Each structure stands twice: as structure tokens, then as C-alpha cells.
Structure 1
Amino acid sequence: MNESNYKYTATLLLPEDGKQYWTDIMQGRAAVPEDITVGSPVVMATALYTDGTFVVAGVSKSKDPTDYNIVFAWVYDQDGNKYPGWPIDLSDNEDFFVNSIAFSPTDADEADYLLIVSEAKV
């Protein structure tokens, strides 16, 4: 996706090798600590846009964390209010190997936000 096609661009920075690690957690192939409660994030990262909009994304613990865990991406406005619904729908994603996701926090037809998913290089 060409970044210049979007009004706002931000980067969701995962740790080094995070795409594989987060995918392994999501697919139940990585250990999830027992003391993390069901529904709580196991891993997460944030991305901040210049207008104050921000995204929190990661993987939450499921009832059966050795089978699967739940991917999420929540979008908030500049005042910290969560946009309703799922502006970023990750339900069809089976891994974290996407490079970018275009979305609109509202019901607008045109996506004007681009979320780049990247890994830290240490």
C-alpha cells in the first residue's frame, strides 16, 4: 500500500521477531502464563497518529490458550474514547504477517488511516 494515499499513517512496532511470536501465541503454539486471566492481553503494542487517534493491538488469552488466543485491534479517538465496533477487523487474519492495514475509525467508505505493522530491529 502506498502511504501517500492515506491522510494518516502510524506504525505498530512489535518486538524483534514479534510477527512470528505473536502468531505463535495467537495459534496456541507458544506458552501463555497461567497467571494471566482469560480475556486479558498477553502481548500488545500501540500506534499513535498525528491527529491523536491511536490503536492498541495484540493477542488476548482465550479459555483454551494451547488451542488458540484472540487477536484484537482497538481504535481510540484523541480523548481516549474507543470507537464502536471493529474499525480494524482482524477476524480473518490467521497470523501477524501483514505489513499494513487500511481502515477508517468511522463508517466512512474510504479508509484514510494506514497502520503499518513492523518489527523492531535490535
Structure 2
Amino acid sequence: MKLSEDRAQVQSQIELLKTKFQEASEKELSSIKYELKSNHVEIRTEEKNMSVRSVQVANKQHLEDVKKITKLEAEYQRLRGLVPKKLSGPAALAQIKLVDADYGETRSKRERNFSSSPVKLQVST
């Protein structure tokens, strides 16, 4: 009789330990799942931030390219204005070279004046 009572008590303790172990395992599993999901959210947030930064950099580059294109178009129009509608030989070419040389000297003088100035000016187009 004593043996069967002891056996029943041991069985009950084993069942109790199994239950506690299963609960602890489930709790640990839930904790790991939560950590995994948190890491997943963190990764997604970083991906989003990197994507936003990439778009900002591309937009900035695009604006710089637009400024360069605008400057090139203005230079093209200026040069186009120097070319007469009908070239009448070497005299017309010589005149274009004189006008362009004069423009280059004026431009280099302006650049020297700006570079020696202590105040930097920003020109936005």
C-alpha cells in the first residue's frame, strides 16, 4: 500500500514537472517569436529609411543635373546668337572669334573678382 501511494505521488510530481516544463517551453517559444518579430520590424524600418535616403539623394542629384542643363542651354543659346544666319566666309568666323574672345576675357575678369572677394555669393537658377 505504501509503495502504491509513493508511486502515485511520484507520478503526480512527474506530471506537475511535465506541465511546468511545457509552460516554460511555450513561454520561451513566445519570447523568441516576439524577439524575431521585433527584429523583423526593425529591419523593415531600416530598409524604409534607406529607401527614403536613396530617394533624397536621387532627387538632389536630379536638381543638380537640371541646374547644369539650364546652364548648358544658356551657353548654347549665347553661342547660337554669335553665329550669323548665313556664314559669309572667313570674315564671319573671325568676327565670331573676336566676340567670343571678348566674352571670355570679361568672364575671366568677373571670376577673378568673385574669387578674390571674401564674401561667397550663391547664384540659384
**Does TM, scored on the shorter chain, surpass 0.5?**
no
* TM-score, length-scaled by structure 1: 0.17
Relative contact order (alpha carbons < 8 A, sep ≥ 6): 1 or 2 greater?
1
Q: Give the number of the structure whose alpha-carbon radius of gyration is greater.
A: 2
Structure (1/2) with the larger helix percentage: 2
* TM-score, length-scaled by structure 2: 0.17
Structure (1/2) with the larger strand percentage: 1
